[in-house]
Structure 1
C-alpha cells in the first residue's frame, strides 16, 4: 500500500536544454521514467513482501483473541475494549494483505485509493479504542471511588459503538466528497480530511496524557498503586503503538497534505506501513506474553493466559491451585467484578 504522487516536468525528468531535439527529449524522458518506475518497483516490493510474511501471523493472533473474548471468556469493561481493538487490527491487516497482494501481483504499487481509505478507517478505530482504554485506566486510578461506584454499566460498549460510528461516518463522507469533487471545483473532501486529522491529533494527545498520568500515579506518586498485569498490558500496548503505529499516521498526514519528494513517498512511507503492520501483529503477542509470565506449565491454556493478561488484581501470578478449573473460576469471578 503506497501513496503515489505524480512527477511533474519541472521535477527533473525532462531536459531543459533548448538545443536538444524534441524526439531525443521525449526518449530521454521515457527512459528515465521507466528506470525510476522499475527501481521503485523493486524497492517497494521488499516491504510489501515483509507485510505478506508478518500480516498472516497477526491475523492468526487477533483471530484467536476474537474467538476467546467472543465465545470463551465472560465480557467485562476491559475485555470489550480489547475485543474491538482486535477487530480493528484484524480488519486493518486484512486490507493490508489485499492491497499488498494486488501490488505484488501487478508488480507495481498501485492499489486502489478506496482500499487505502478503508485501511485508514481501521487505523483510526484502533487509535480511538486504545485512547479509550488508556483514559479509562487513568480514571480508575485517579478517581477509583467514582469509577467503581458511578461508572455506567454499559459504558465500554457504548463508547466502542460511538467510536466505530464516528470513524465510519468521517471516512465515508471523505470518500463521497472525493468522488463528487471530480465533478466540481470545490474540494470538500479536504475539509473532512482536516477533521479526521484533527480527531487523530486529539486522540493522540489523550493517549499520551492519560498514559503519562498513569505512569506518574503508578511509579512517582507517594501513594503508589499496585502494578497489575492489566496495567502492564495497557502500558506496553501504548508504547508499541507510539513506536510502530504512530509513524504511519504521521506519514499518511504528510503524504496526503503536503507536496513531498518522491523518495519519501515511495521509499520511506512503505517502511511506516510495515511498522504499523508490526503494531497490529504485536498486540496479541503482548496479551499472551503478559498472561503466561510466571505461570505454571499445567495451567497454560490460551483462555487462562488471556484472562490473566486482563486481570486487574494486585495478586497476579500467585495462583498455586493445582486444579485448573478452580483457577478459572477464581479468574472469572475477578473478571466479572
Structure 2
C-alpha cells in the first residue's frame, strides 16, 4: 500500500494496526513518507482546485436552480439539469479533497484520519464523475440523433425518454460505487474500480469521439445550414472539453493502478483536469447564449433561455412543417 498524497484510491483494507505496522511508528507521528511533507507543486494544485471549485459550484448551482425552478423543462434541458447536478457533486468532492490535502500538508490532520477520509471520499467522487461521464455520453448520442434524424427525434421520440435514461444512469452509477465500497470494506482484494474505469474508457470514449465528429461536421461543414444551433454548439464544446480535460482523469487513474500510486503529482493533475471540466459547462452556456455585439447587459436567465429554449422552438417548427405536409 502506498502512503502518498491521496492515499490508496481503491481500498479500505488497512486497519489501524496494519498501518501502524507498516509505518513502524505511532500513527500520530509518522516518520516515513509523510514526514517529508508535500511537494510544493501538490500544494499549489490543491489551492487551484479549491479556487476553481468555488466558481464551478456557483456556476453549476445557478444552472440547477434555473433549470429546476425557473424554466419549463424539455428533453434536452432534463439532460443538462442532471449533468449540472453530477458536476456539482463532483466539485463538492474535489473541494473537500483540496481542503483535506491542505490540512494534512500543514500537519493539522493526523495521518490515520487523513487516510480514512480520503479512502471513503473517493467513492462519492467516482460515483459523481462516472454519472457525469455517462450523462454526457447519452447527451452526445441524443444530439447526434437529433441532427441526423430530426423528424423522428422530435415527433416520434418517447416523451419521458430523457428522464428514464437519467434515472437509469444514476442508479447504475450508484450500484457500481456501492459494490466498490462494499468490497473494499469487506477487504476483498478485487480491484473492481480498475475494471470499471477500463470499461468506461472502452465504451464511452469511442461513442463520445464519434458523436463529437458527427456534430462537428454537421455544425461547420453543412453549407445549407446557415444558422448554427446554439444547443448543438454548447454540447459540442462540452464534449471537446471532456475529451481534453476529464477523460485524462480516467487514464491517470488507470496508470495509478499500474504503478501502485508512485507518482502523486500526476494524480493531483488528474483531479485538476476533472475540476476544470466540471466547472466549464456553465461558462460554455453563458458564452454561447449571449449576444456577441450587444451593449446592453443581459441577465443570466435571458442568456440561458436563449440556449435551452431553442430545443422547444425547434420542436414546434418541425411539428408545424409536418402538419403542413400532411
Same fold (TM over 0.5): yes
Give me the whole-angstrom Cα distance separating, in 2, the residues matched to 1:294 and 1:261.
46
Query: Is 1:190 equivalent to 2:191 in the alignment?
Result: yes
Structure 2 segments unaligned to the other structure (5+ residues): 10-23, 25-30, 108-113, 317-326
Query: Is 1:95 equivalent to 2:93 in the alignment?
Result: yes
Query: Is 1:135 equivalent to 2:141 in the alignment?
Result: yes
8 A Cα contact 1:229 1:312, kept in partner? yes
8 A Cα contact 2:127 2:177, kept in partner? yes
Give me the whole-angstrom Cα distance separating, in 2, the residues matched to 1:280 and 1:267.
20
Q: Which residue of structure 2 aligns with residue 288 of structure 1?
A: 286
Give me the whole-angstrom Cα distance separating, in 1, the residues matched to 2:265 and 2:84.
29
Q: Look up the SS of the partner of 1:293 in the other structure.
A: coil
Q: Report the Cα offset of residue 260 of structure 1.
A: 5.1
Q: Which residue of structure 2 aligns with residue 209 of structure 1?
A: 210
Query: Is 1:150 equivalent to 2:156 in the alignment?
Result: yes
Does the C-alpha gap of structure 1 residues 58 and 335 become closer, same or farther in structure 2, counting only changes over 3 Å? farther
Query: Is 1:259 equivalent to 2:259 in the alignment?
Result: yes
8 A Cα contact 2:6 2:264, kept in partner? yes
Q: Look up the SS of the partner of 1:74 in the other structure.
A: coil
Matches within 5 A, 1:45-124: 45-107=43-105, 110=115, 111-124=117-130
Does the C-alpha gap of structure 1 residues 198 and 291 become closer, same or farther in structure 2, counting only changes over 3 Å? same
Q: Look up the SS of the partner of 2:310 in the other structure.
A: coil
Q: Report the Cα offset of residue 142 of structure 1.
A: 1.1
Q: Report the Cα offset of residue 294 of structure 1.
A: 2.7
Q: Report the Cα offset of residue 252 of structure 1.
A: 1.3
Give me the whole-angstrom Cα distance separating, in 2, the residues matched to 1:306 and 1:274.
26
Q: Look up the SS of the partner of 2:173 in the other structure.
A: helix
Q: Look up the SS of the partner of 2:191 in the other structure.
A: helix
User: Aligned residues, how many?
Assistant: 285
8 A Cα contact 1:117 1:171, kept in partner? yes
Q: Report the Cα offset of residue 336 of structure 1.
A: 7.4
**TM-score of the aligned structures, taking structure 1 as reference length:** 0.77
Give me the whole-angstrom Cα distance separating, in 2, the residues matched to 1:190 and 1:35.
24
Does the C-alpha gap of structure 1 residues 204 and 85 become closer, same or farther in structure 2, counting only changes over 3 Å? same
Does the C-alpha gap of structure 1 residues 196 and 170 become closer, same or farther in structure 2, counting only changes over 3 Å? farther
Q: Report the Cα offset of residue 219 of structure 1.
A: 3.2
Structure 1 segments unaligned to the other structure (5+ residues): 7-25, 27-32, 314-332
Query: Is 1:247 equivalent to 2:226 in the alignment?
Result: no
Give me the whole-angstrom Cα distance separating, in 1, the residues matched to 2:315 and 2:151.
18
Deviations 1:251-292 (A, max 9, x none): 112213x12572xx2112211211211111111111111111
Give me the whole-angstrom Cα distance separating, in 2, the residues matched to 1:36 and 1:255.
19
Q: Which residue of structure 1 aligns with residue 304 of structure 2?
A: 306
Q: In terms of mean alpha carbon deviation, does 297-306 or 71-80 score higher?
A: 297-306
Q: Look up the SS of the partner of 1:112 in the other structure.
A: helix
Q: Report the Cα offset of residue 36 of structure 1.
A: 7.6
Does the C-alpha gap of structure 1 residues 277 and 101 become closer, same or farther in structure 2, counting only changes over 3 Å? same
Task: Quote the RMSD (CA, aligned, Å).
Answer: 2.7
Give me the whole-angstrom Cα distance separating, in 1, the residues matched to 2:291 and 2:37.
46
**TM-score of the aligned structures, taking structure 2 as reference length:** 0.79
